[in-house]
Amino acid sequence: MGMAEAILLTIATAATPLLLAAIGELVVERSGVLNLGVEGMMLMGAVVAFGVALATGSAWIGVVAGALAGMAFSLLFGVLALTLVTNQVATGLALTLLGIGLSGMIGVAFVGQPGVKLEAISIPGLTELPLVGRLLFGQDPMFYISILLTAGVMWFLFRTRAGLTLRSVGDSHSSAHALGIKVIAIRYMAVMFGGACAGLAGAQLSLVYTTQWIENMTAGRGWIALALVVFASWRPWRVLAGAYLFGAITIAQLHIQATNLADLAGLPGPLYWLAGAVKSVPSQFLSALPYLATVVVLVLISRNRRLTMMNTPASLGRPFVPDR
Amino acid sequence: MRGLTKVFGTLRACDGVDLDIARGEIHALLGENGAGKSTLVKMLFGSLEPNAGEIRWNGEAVRIGSPSEARRLGIGMVFQHFSLFEALTAAENIALSLDARTPISTIAAKAQALSYSYGLPLDPYALVGDLSVGERQRIEIIRCLLQTPQLIILDEPTSVLTPQEADKLFETLERLRSEGKSILYISHRLEEVKRMCDRATVLRHGKVVGHCDPRQETASSLARMMVGSEVHAVVRTADTTGSADVLLRVDRLSRPPATPFSIPLRDVSLEVRAGEVIGIAGVAGNGQGEFFEAISGEVLQDRADAVTIRGKGAGREGITGRRRMGAAFVPEERLGHGAAPAMKLSENLLLSRHATDPGVYVGALGVIRHAAIAATAKRINQMMDVRKSAEDPAANALSGGNLQKFIIGRELDRQPAVMVVNQPTWGVDAGAAARIRQSLIELARSGSAVLVISQDLDELFEISDRIAVMHNGELSTPMSRAEATFEKVGLLMGGAEPGHVHHHDPAEVA
């Protein structure tokens, strides 16, 4: 396996949890609900997936359990924000805080334990192909799930009647209600889909990315996923691009941090000097770079205000109470 | 419908209402704002559930639990506040209320064919947010017709149309009647009801006060049934201004659009002289709101001389600055904009007057002078005949008409040299509306400049000395009352209709 191939594979692994969480949140926000609890739902997914995989010995059962945990946790948000009409921002924040605490508590026993790894797939004859074999046919299942989900969400939102209904609820819930569309029911389904996606993202972290449970292991990825959705102007393919950009810079800065300047002594003068300059940047800044760069790039591509505002669900975050 | 009743809290919005609609008739439902018309049709369309009474459809008692059940029975509705989705196309909007199995391309083709056959041309792939109000109403009508209803409910359909667009609508309705469809036509415009409707039912305070044949009645007899008492006609004394001083000048005012679906202002210029009332007509959403925000100082201008109040440049002043220069502003929304809803009238008075009348309401060390405020509030309530349930109620406890009287009175009490009002009598009962209009004329005659923005042409013709029309962010040259006719103003309101103008070239936004 070549160096470039290895790097591309790690990029995909770093991008996948973001993509999963963000694509779920995109559907939630397209229905007009702002759920800031992504980080909490991811953590719940991660800890439950890890624990169940450990207990059953099957990573797959862990994945399913992680998705279900995220969905159940999002249902809590749904009951509070949709049925009891609490403030969505406050409820989402509470969900994140609860998720951090609860997952830490559940996971005390798991700290330091070796987990179960969700193995990469292997198709005889295809996986061994040079260059593209591992990239296309030899990655872990979560990678394929994330890509399929993104394509599925694109198709659903813009090609199906159900997707049109969901977008209409996000655009104007009172108009939708006047037409007899069940606003709250649709929002519940969207919120639960978002929860399941966040749970999957968490499962990817604890079963593929690290294969262990570390308290607060999402490290702000839930927030980046939220930012991705906004800066991607609620469009799935932009979320995909943003997630991979984040993944690429994460891996690049890891490589920079890991490289020893002495190993590069053979480089030509200017390149060596450049490497030295990069290495002199504090490591904390390099660690922050993926977050920073993703936001900057997405801000730049969402400069067209009209396009952005047109894609913004007009009812986003506004509570809906039918007048009966 | 028999004995239909709906209670909101202690308010009986509809109280034992009986209504019969025959096949192939246009039936008018008349009533003032708040008489219960909208509540009644919402029950008929399944958006609200009646507390008592029954609905019989083709002789059988039915329970209409949701709009989709109403549609299945054959009841269609064109809403007053459109129930459209701005970010979706016309075809997508129509598809949302139709059978889920029909593909959108089929719906688009059907909608287009139907729209042309009724003379209501429609581009199914246009984004609703880019369309004019008249075009949006077409979508609603086409959407309704595609469901092949037997009864079509239209809620105040002409309130957002130009006179010419309204004529077009009447033709469509007459054609529908000739096809044997029934129409329930809700309006408070008596002339069009007299012109078109076969029968009328009049509602007042949630009760039916009479059934009649509108063609046998006069406009004033219908008005008396609606209001319950004589409405005093507004008296407009002759305008004697001639070459009086210009108190408000707007000079080449431009403003980029604030949201993707709002209108930019383009080179708007206007002069309002002491002693005159200028009316600005226009179909909703043609930049009137943006214009008001720019004049009132909610949005500042780059040039100080873009807006001049009493000879001084005010373009860079905020609202309080402009008020101090002698201007007064009454915005369109009463609650939340014109007044703080949950605060008492006296507190609302203090909020807007403490800065303009320094030392009167707030004494040394910032202590509020309650006695002075109470005296002024009393003066305003007497002057404008504000009817309220308590001595000093919260703003949202007043009816729309009474709150509007209070807000207008609050500004009039300062004797402003310049008064700018947006939709002065929107949603206000006839008695209060007459009072407000009369007070605006009197203010002008006492030497102030008054600018009124309104969608109600009758109102503008009643009070204005000159009328200008705002269309697509541009303002026409004001016409004197003598040369202005409904037809001329209507044509200007329609601009380049029937095709709509694309307001949003990408280059313009960038």
Would the CB atoms of B95 and A177 count as touching at under 8 Å?
Answer: no
Domains of chain B: 2-227 (3.40.50.300), 233-326+416-510 (3.40.50.300), 336-414 (no CATH)
B398 vs B253: which has the higher pLDDT? B253
What number of other Cβ atoms are within 10 A of residue B435's Cβ? 24
Cβ(A165)–Cβ(A30) below 8 Å: no
Confidence of residue B504 (pLDDT cuts 50, 70, 90): very low
Among residues A183, A193, A198, A202, which one has the least CA distance to residue A156?
A193
- Supply the mean pLDDT for chain B: 84
B431 vs B276: which has the higher pLDDT? B276
Would the CB atoms of B85 and A172 count as touching at under 8 Å?
Answer: yes
Distance from CA of B300 to the nearest CA of A (A): 21
Task: Give the type of residue at B308.
Answer: T
Would the CB atoms of B83 and A165 count as touching at under 8 Å?
Answer: no
Distances (CA, A) of A230 to A26, A247, B230, B366: 8, 18, 57, 45
Among residues B293, B294, B407, which one has the least CA distance to residue B353?
B407
| Cβ-nearest to B96 among A164, A310, A323 | A164
| Cβ-nearest to B86 among A171, A174, A176 | A171
A171-175, A185-189, A216-220, B132-136: which has the minimum mean pLDDT?
B132-136
Q: Counting beta carbons within 10 angstroms of the beta carbon of residue B389, is it exposed (0 to 12), middle (13 to 18) or buried (19 or more)? A: exposed
Confidence of residue B24 (pLDDT cuts 50, 70, 90): confident
The edge-to-edge listing of strands for the beta sheet with B307-309 is B265-273, B246-255, B307-309, B312-313
Distance from CA of A297 to the nearest CA of B (A): 19
Residues of chain A found within 8 Å of residue B127, distances taken between Cβ atoms: 310
Q: Is residue B8's pLDDT more than 70?
A: no
B66 touches chain A (CB under 8 A): yes
Q: Is residue B506's pLDDT more than 80?
A: no
**Overall average pLDDT of the B3-29 stretch:** 74
The whole-angstrom separation of Cα B312 and Cα A307 is 40
Longest dimension (CA), chain A: 77
| Cβ-nearest to B88 among A161, A168, A306 | A168
Q: Is residue A43's pLDDT more than 90?
A: yes
Residue of A nearest to B257 (CA): A306
The whole-angstrom separation of Cα A67 and Cα A63 is 6
Confidence of residue B4 (pLDDT cuts 50, 70, 90): low
Among residues B40, B436, B341, which one has the least CA distance to residue B208?
B40
A198 vs B506: which has the higher pLDDT? A198
Confidence (pLDDT) at A258: 80
Q: Is residue B13's pLDDT more than 80?
A: no
Strands B207-212 and B199-204: what pairing?
Answer: antiparallel
Is the backbone peptide bond immediately before B498 cis, with ω within 30 degrees of 0? yes
Cβ(B232)–Cβ(B434) below 8 Å: yes
B455 vs A21: which has the higher pLDDT? A21
Task: Give the type of residue at B378.
Answer: K
Would the CB atoms of B506 and A178 count as touching at under 8 Å?
Answer: no
Q: Is residue A6's pLDDT more than 70?
A: yes
Distances (CA, A) of B202 to A156, B27, B37, B228, B431: 48, 11, 9, 11, 17
The whole-angstrom separation of Cα B481 and Cα B465 is 5
Query: DSSP labels for A32-43?
Result: T---TTHHHHHH
Would the CB atoms of B71 and A306 count as touching at under 8 Å?
Answer: no
Confidence (pLDDT) at B70: 86
Per-residue pLDDT tens digits for B77-124: 887 666 789 889 999 999 888 877 778 888 888 888 888 888 778 888
The whole-angstrom separation of Cα A180 and Cα B97 is 8
The whole-angstrom separation of Cα A35 and Cα A187 is 11
Task: Give the type of residue at B497.
Answer: E
Confidence (pLDDT) at B509: 37
Q: Give this complex's ipTM.
A: 0.78
Q: What percent of chain B has pLDDT over 70?
A: 92
Distance from CA of A300 to the nearest CA of B (A): 14
**Overall average pLDDT of the B456-460 stretch:** 88
Would the CB atoms of A161 and B127 count as touching at under 8 Å?
Answer: no
**Overall average pLDDT of the B452-465 stretch:** 90
How would you label B119-133 residue by residue, b for 16+ Cβ within 10 Å and e otherwise?
A: ebebbbebbbbbbbb
**Within chain B, how many helices (H) and strands (E) appear?**
17, 21
The backbone torsions φ and ψ at residue A248, rounded to the nearest 5 degrees and listed phi first, read -65, -45
Confidence of residue A323 (pLDDT cuts 50, 70, 90): low
What are the structure tokens assigned to B40, written together?
A: 């009644």
Domains of chain A: 3-311 (1.10.3470)
The backbone torsions φ and ψ at residue B76, rounded to the nearest 5 degrees and listed phi first, read -115, 155
The whole-angstrom separation of Cα A139 and Cα A5 is 12
What are the structure tokens assigned to B279, written together?
A: 């009316």
The whole-angstrom separation of Cα B375 and Cα B115 is 59
Give rounded-to-5 percent helix, strand, coil for chain A: 75, 0, 25
Which residues on chain A place their C-beta less than 8 Å from a C-beta of chain B? Answer: 161, 164-165, 167-168, 171-172, 174-181, 304-306, 309-311, 313-314, 323-324
A185-189, B22-26, B131-135, B299-303: which has the minimum mean pLDDT?
B131-135
Would the CB atoms of B509 and A174 count as touching at under 8 Å?
Answer: no
Residue of A nearest to B144 (CA): A179
What are the structure tokens assigned to B111, written together?
A: 């909608």
Per-residue pLDDT tens digits for A276-301: 787 788 888 888 888 888 778 777 87
**Those residues with Cβ within 8 angstroms of residue B485's Cβ, 6 or more apart along the chain or in another chain:** none
Task: Give the type of residue at B225.
Answer: M
Q: Which residue has the tokens 């305070």?
A: B205
Bridge partners of B479, per DSSP, are B467
Per-residue pLDDT tens digits for B290-322: 999 999 999 999 999 999 999 999 999 999 999
Among residues A119, A65, A110, which one has the least CA distance to residue A212?
A110
B504 touches chain A (CB under 8 A): yes
Cβ(B12)–Cβ(B25) below 8 Å: no
Confidence (pLDDT) at B257: 82
Residues of chain B found within 8 Å of residue A179, distances taken between Cβ atoms: 67-68, 83, 96-97
What are the structure tokens assigned to A76, written together?
A: 């809590």
Residues of chain B found within 8 Å of residue A310, distances taken between Cβ atoms: 87, 127, 129, 260
3-state secondary structure of B2: strand
Best to test chain B binding among A168, A179, A307 (most B CBs inside 10 Å): A179
Cβ(B333)–Cβ(B387) below 8 Å: no
The edge-to-edge listing of strands for the beta sheet with B182-187 is B75-78, B151-155, B182-187, B26-31, B199-204, B207-212
**Within chain A, how many helices (H) and strands (E) appear?**
14, 0
A204-208, B30-34, B178-182, B463-467: which has the minimum mean pLDDT?
B30-34
Eight-class DSSP state of A83: I
| Cβ-nearest to A179 among B48, B96, B504 | B96
Report the 3 state secondary structure along B297-348: CCCCCCCHHHEEECCEECCCCCHHHHHHCCEEEECCCCECCCECCCCEHHHH
Bridge partners of B5, per DSSP, are B52
Bridge partners of B467, per DSSP, are B279, B479
Q: At what angle do helices B133-146 and B104-117 cross, to 10 degrees?
A: 110
The whole-angstrom separation of Cα A20 and Cα A13 is 11
Cβ(A91)–Cβ(A80) below 8 Å: yes
| Cβ-nearest to A310 among B71, B104, B260 | B260
**Overall average pLDDT of the A8-29 stretch:** 94
